[in-house]
Chains A and B, each alone.
Chain A
Amino acid sequence: MPLRQDIKKVLVIGSGPIIIGQAAEFDYAGTQACRALKEEGLEVVLVNSNPATIMTDKAMADHVYIEPLNIDVVKRIIEIEKPDSVLSTLGGQTGLTFSMQLAKEGFLDSHNVKLLGANPLTIDKAEDRQMFKDTMEKIGEPCIPSKVVNTVEDGLAFIEQIKYPVIIRPAFTMGGTGGGIAYNEEEFKEIAGNGLRLSPITQILVEKCISGWKEIEFEVIRDSKGNIITVCSMENVDPVGVHTGDSIVVAPAVTLSPAEFSMLRKAALNIVEELGVEGGCNCQFALHPTSMEYAVIEVNPRVSRSSALASKATGYPIAKVATKIAIGYTLDEILNAVTGTTYACFEPSVDYLVVKFPKWPFDKFVYAKRTLGTQMMATGEVMSIGTSFESAMMKAVRSVELGLDSFNLPKFADKTKEELLELLHNCDDERMFCVFEALKKGIPAEKIHEITMIDCWFINKLDNLRKMEEALANCDELTEELYLRAKKYGYLDSTIERFSGKKVEHHRKGVYKMVDTCAAEYKAQTPYFYSTYDEENEASEFIEEHKSDKKKILVFGSGPIRIGQGIEFDYCSVHCVWALKKLGYEASIANNNPETVSTDFDTSDRLYFDPLTPEDVDNVLESEKPWGVVVQFGGQTAIKLTKYLAKKGVRILGTSADSIDEAEDRERFDELLGRLGIPRPKGETVLTKEDAVAAANRLGFPVLLRPSYVLGGQNMIIAHTTAEVEEYMDIITSHMKDNLVLIDKYMMGKEVEVDAICDGEDYLIPGIMEHIERAGIHSGDSISVYPAQTLSQKIKRTIIDYTGKLARELKVVGLVNIQYVIYNDEVYVIEVNPRSSRTIPYISKVTGVPMVEIATRMMFGEKLRDQGYGIGLYPEAEYVAVKVPVFSFEKLHDVDTLLGPEMKSTGEVLGIAKTFDEALFKGLVAAGYKMKHEGGVLVTVRDTDKQEVVPIVEKFEKLGFTIYATAGTALTLHQNMIAANTIRKIEEEEPNIITLFDQNKIDYIITTSKKGRKPQRHSVQMRRRAVERSIVTMTALDTANALANSLMSNRTVNDVELVDITKI
């Protein structure tokens, strides 16, 4: 059936801010969906609170609402825009949940809105535990057997059927308290007895324990005709027990023989058929490693992280096809855009192996519990493509930016065999490195399998890498044969040289193969490539066949999403490519992140899906022979390449390598500031602990410590005492040897941020942003307001003046981001980043200045004056935009929620309104603040904050909140005529703070403490307990004040004006 005639205007609900578990993959899916709809000439209305996405770009939809994802807001948008349909399955769980709620309430029917992509019954069958179980039972698909029991005896009777081991989950206990795994009757009696006691309703769930089984996924697509295909199979290297988002995953599945493969494939088709899905669906199975027994773990009847991976792994655009199906097309009518000659109704065949490797935030959260389990913790991922598992793994370990080029992790190097046997039991982010070291120490693969349950296939393949490294280490001569074999296994020249101690005499270049959905069966048109060490270079052939006289430009992407380098850099990279195409260039992208729009096969003219190390980049340069390259949009990942590229003589477009160095090199930067007469907080550079302590004492506490070349405030702290400086230096020197540490005098002033575009002479400042929180809290974690609300004309003039001077002196061509602190009415520069920044997408959207496009034009010598946006400060927009950070603390154990100079947020939302108050309100609501107007506020602040907190608490008191405070804070409040109930601290006897938490008496917490980070500290424990109970915790007085003000305005979401940003 072709396009349904009753569809003209479609509402697409996005997935909101990036949080762990719901990330950039939905920008990719949503963007594909919007484009697929527009391709059909449909009018698209979009709502998504996330301003950093491509999806919320004005070009993506006809009407774009960057508004809180709230059921009332969505209803109002439907009333305003009157779409005839809503697309439910492309915006993650968030989009799906809203769509279902609207449908079930009857709102869609009463407003004549059709639900596209899924019907409520399908969703219920997949998501409601009982209905899912019943549905699976009906079609004979096994689920994980489980039973609710109230006695140990009943439990034992059930175990007769399902056999040990079993998982015991007590009902209604916090965080799974009292649960466990029992391997025999004795253990079961103990755990179950205990669990029954702890459960307030004396009830436990006894479930067959399948951890250690193979975890296999299938991506399935079905259309309204009932045509059904599997796009891709995937196998988790980490068996059941580790969330698939935290697992290393290979595609296609490799350890299944046709018997198991076809059994699970058919099960997937059966399930999707029974659910009646029309669109994409993900099916997860657990497969017993030594029998044909399997169980359905989970079914997601929507696009997902796995579908994004499957799309990138095969070239098959699942989101696009799912969208076309939603609007009426069937698979046999949709052309396969990759081949251009075949149809979407086929199963892709691959002739390579794909590895997905997660990116975890533990390098940043040093105290976080690293154990992997059923709660996903990775913020992002990389994908690599190779002709062997070995090469794909080697590419992955380079791409994930851990500073590693092999599976040798220094911390395991001196571990003994016995220690490693013990360590193998830790299922954490470093397990694969531990396995590798275990192999090196002679622990047999079977033994490792026994402990980890990782299939021997993967372990033996890793062992091939170990053997290769051994062969290199023992070789008398680095023969061409050995060298080539090492290259085919994915080793870099530098790694080969390090292991062998021999010089590589004849460097071998990589060549490129195409990802074409069909294993070369048909001639494909997709310029999507990965490197191998073969003879033919399909990228070169492609370039030859598509010869044009356009100049070729290569854009470097930003790699995996991590805290501090998020989706906004993908936004910039994609916009740069679009601008380049518009300007008549051929634009290619090199990147390795499967979740993003930049790695969609039709974003650039050519896509190189590979790591971004110098040698990997060399291969791209050799093959692509670009006229110039762009590094300033790909975050630190791309910027890091600058020096290398410059040394090679590659033309770097925009700001020069020397200027980038001048901004990043402490001494050179100080010199530059001196020349310009611009002040900055005093600081020094040190290498050792002793020097650091001395410097801190010279500068005077508090001081800010950070390694040079930082990203997202990685490992950045404010130290108030010598002891804190020492603790910090110990951590830093253990992680990164020879890394200089910068110590700055810490000035607690107002923080201001500016993004500017410069053509080398003139500059344009689209907007000045002001942070609600004072300096000391990372700009990514601060609430940021555009345009600045409280700056005097004099300060603004100074900022404009400094920005101009800095941009000009650094000869910036393109974008520059400058952070200032205003302290005692003086403007100080904190840092200058001659590259794109986190704020570019939202400032571009709010001001209407296409910043990336203009910056790209500057790189080719165009002048700012000719762009039509003027120079200097761009006129302030009619609207105020407030960016509010969003955190994923509930997903990360033991991470302190206290904000500081180290960035902790994973995403952001935006509130746009005519007034600051309304914009702030929208921002807070969008960020998930419930905006409760009654209840209790707990205040516990450090001595230096006690006076300042008084007027803030007074506001909460006036609003009618009951105030609770710990002894010291309460004393100050009482002295200031504020009635506060004194409450004991967490470390004191009950009833204490936790008692209040348990009684649901606390709605907001205002907490500041001098010390943080270490999970043992009581203040940290208190904040963790608050996170577990979803209590809003504010760790900066400024945030608390802003919230109090917003509450006092007494708004609800029904009062706010909803803004279509395409109209501003």
Chain B
Amino acid sequence: MDIFNNAQKAWLLLEDGTVYEGYGLGSDKDAIGELVFNTNVVGFQEILTDPANANNIIVETFPLTGNYGVNHENDLHESVTARGWVIREWCAQPSNFRMEGRIDEYLEKKGISAIFDLDTRAITRKLRDEGVQNGLITRTNPADNKQALLDQLKAWKKPMPAWVNYNEKVTFEKLDAKYSITMPNYGIRNDVIKALMARGCKVTVVPASYTEKQIMETNPDAVVLCGGVGLDALATSNAQQTVAELMKSGVPVLGIDFGHQIMALAMGGSVEKMHCGHRGSNCPVTEQESGRTFITAQNHGYIVKEAPSNAVVSHLNSNDKTCEGLVYPQMKAMSVQFIPEAEIGQKNFDGIYEKFLGMIG
């Protein structure tokens, strides 16, 4: 009963007016975000720090969280976090030789507002049936001014994350680098940088506001687009135009997750918001050329609806047949909706990085 000791009441309010009562954990500040569910059994820390979740409140479908504690190496981003976390139970006495601390301390440090002791399956089913919606985690009983809160929730739009206007250029050096990769900072997962470095790449991260010209001035062998800006926030940026110019310039371009979507838009395709997204590590994707199906990790709420006319669909989701990958035969460009396998030498996985680096020639 440790986790209930001195725990304060907290509430989760949904845009449709549903209220769930639980206990607060982590930051005691109110948190508003888009409520999405994630079906991963392990990897809660990665989910909380995936830039793609920057504007989200995550509902964990697996009821036991924090079992193995936290470790800074697990973070996918140093500063970015999800806005909130909805769980059933957290572990007050985690056990793992690598752990550096407990999840409650971590949430507090990161300023993430969480709520526990909720029926997360019930909330998941609701989101599955009714689609994602905005939610609020609060320590103040929302019954008192519910209407005002609901108005606020409905009006809430995903803001542009701070890093988009971040003006620094950062280079991750690699001894005897074979390739130089430039990544516009749309919110980059550490694991993508690590995967590229492990394959002999030097990675330069540049501000999202960089134009094609500025990017090319970094002398990249290739450009990788990945991130968490999210399309809601995209309208105000010049990213689409930059990406179109990059692709046409002849530099090899790889799009991952959001990068896949923005490339499709740049080439005249369309994207669409999903009912409740693909968020988990068990998503089957079929590679069209080989007919092989791979299990992939995904975390997205939009899909490419219509592929651009100059693109060929390379991967499809095996379940709902949505577009999971595109190649642009006239260009040196390809993109996938899922997160490519980072580890080297795994023949049972997608081999996306290898294929892409092969394009550089």
Chain A residues within 8 Å of B, Cβ to Cβ: 225-229, 233, 252, 254-259, 261-262, 266, 269-270, 273, 289-291, 331-332, 341-343, 345-353, 387-389, 445, 455-457, 460, 464, 467-468, 471, 485, 513, 518-523, 532, 534-536
Contact = CB atoms under 8 A, between A and B. Distances in A.
Interface stretch (B64-72, B136-144, B218-226): B64-72
A351 B62 contact: yes
A225 B293 CA distance: 9
16 contacts: A256-B42, A257-B74, A257-B99, A290-B97, A343-B284, A345-B284, A345-B318, A349-B40, A349-B41, A388-B88, A456-B95, A457-B67, A485-B4, A522-B319, A534-B119, A535-B122
B89 A387 contact: yes
Contacts of A227: 292-293
Interface in B265-285: 280-284
A456 B69 CA distance: 13
Given A387-B88, A471-B1, A519-B62, A457 B284 contact: no
Nearest to A289: B97
Contact of A258 (B46, B91, B128): B46
Given A261-B42, A351-B61, A254 B1 contact: no
Contact of B43 (A258, A353, A520): A258
B318 A520 contact: no
Given A257-B96, A273-B347, A468-B1, A457 B89 contact: no
B145 interface: no
Interface in B44-98: 46, 61-64, 67-69, 71, 74, 88-89, 91-98
B293 A332 contact: yes
B280 A521 contact: yes
Q: Which 8 A-B pairs have the closest CB atoms?
A: A347-B282, A457-B95, A519-B61, A460-B93, A290-B97, A257-B68, A349-B39, A534-B119
B323 to A, nearest CB: 17
Nearest to A273: B348
Contact of B284 (A254, A258, A346, A460): A346
Contacts of B347: 273
Given A273-B347, A273-B348, A346-B282, A351 B124 contact: yes
B39 A518 contact: yes
Main secondary structure of the interface of B (DSSP, over half): loop
A510 to B, nearest CB: 13
B194 interface: no
B68 A519 contact: no
A519 B39 contact: yes
Contacts of B39: 349, 351, 518-519, 521
Contacts of B63: 351-353, 387-388
Contacts of B92: 460
Given A289-B97, A351-B124, A346 B42 contact: no
Nearest to B282: A347
Interface string B143-162: 00000000000000000000
B61 A523 contact: no
A352 B119 CA distance: 11
Contacts of B61: 349, 351, 519-521
B318 A332 contact: yes
B25 to A, nearest CB: 16
A349 B280 contact: yes
B232 interface: no
A839 B160 CA distance: 72
B42 A258 contact: yes
Contacts of A388: 63-64, 88-89
Contacts of A266: 343, 346, 348
Interface string B174-189: 0000000000000000
A103 B166 CA distance: 67
A165 B265 CA distance: 61
B47 to A, nearest CB: 10
Contact of A254 (B40, B64, B286): B64
A342 B68 CA distance: 31
Contacts of B281: 347
Contacts of B93: 445, 456-457, 460
B213 interface: no
Nearest to B20: A535
A693 to B, nearest CB: 51
A734 B2 CA distance: 37
Nearest to A261: B42
A255 B122 contact: no
B295 interface: yes
Interface in B319-356: 319, 343, 346-348
Given A257-B96, A269-B348, A332-B293, A464 B283 contact: no
Given A233-B41, A259-B74, A349-B62, 18 more contacts: A229-B295, A254-B67, A256-B96, A258-B46, A258-B74, A332-B284, A342-B318, A343-B319, A352-B63, A388-B64, A389-B64, A455-B95, A460-B95, A485-B4, A521-B61, A523-B129, A532-B119, A534-B119
B319 A342 contact: yes
Interface in B96-122: 96-99, 119-122
Given A347-B295, A520-B128, A521-B128, A255 B119 contact: no
A347 B39 CA distance: 11
Nearest to B91: A457
A349 B98 contact: no
Interface in B1-29: 1-2, 4
Contacts of B286: 332
- Quick one: which of B93, B97, B121, B124 has the most chain A CB within 10 A? B121
- Quick one: which of A226, A269, A346, A520 has the most chain B CB within 10 A? A520
A349 B62 CA distance: 8
B113 to A, nearest CB: 22
A233 B281 CA distance: 14
Nearest to B99: A257
B248 interface: no
Contacts of A520: 37, 61, 121, 124-125, 128
A532 B122 CA distance: 12
A257 B293 contact: no
B361 interface: no
A464 B1 contact: yes
A343 to B, nearest CB: 6
A331 to B, nearest CB: 7
A445 B43 CA distance: 26
A181 to B, nearest CB: 23
A352 B120 CA distance: 11
A291 B67 CA distance: 17
A228 B348 contact: yes
Contact of B120 (A228, A350, A351): A351
Contacts of A455: 95
Given A346-B282, A346-B284, A457-B91, A225 B42 contact: no
A349 B284 CA distance: 12
A830 to B, nearest CB: 51
B71 A257 contact: yes
B121 A351 contact: yes
Contacts of B97: 289-291
Contact of B293 (A262, A345, A353): A345
Nearest to B348: A269
A348 B40 CA distance: 10
B313 to A, nearest CB: 16
Contacts of A257: 42, 68-69, 71, 74, 96, 98-99
Contacts of B293: 225, 227, 331-332, 345
Contacts of A467: 1-2
Contacts of A256: 42, 68, 96
Contacts of B99: 257
Contact of B98 (A259, A353, A471, A522): A259
B295 A350 contact: no
Nearest to A352: B63
B59 to A, nearest CB: 10
A225 B292 contact: yes
A695 to B, nearest CB: 52
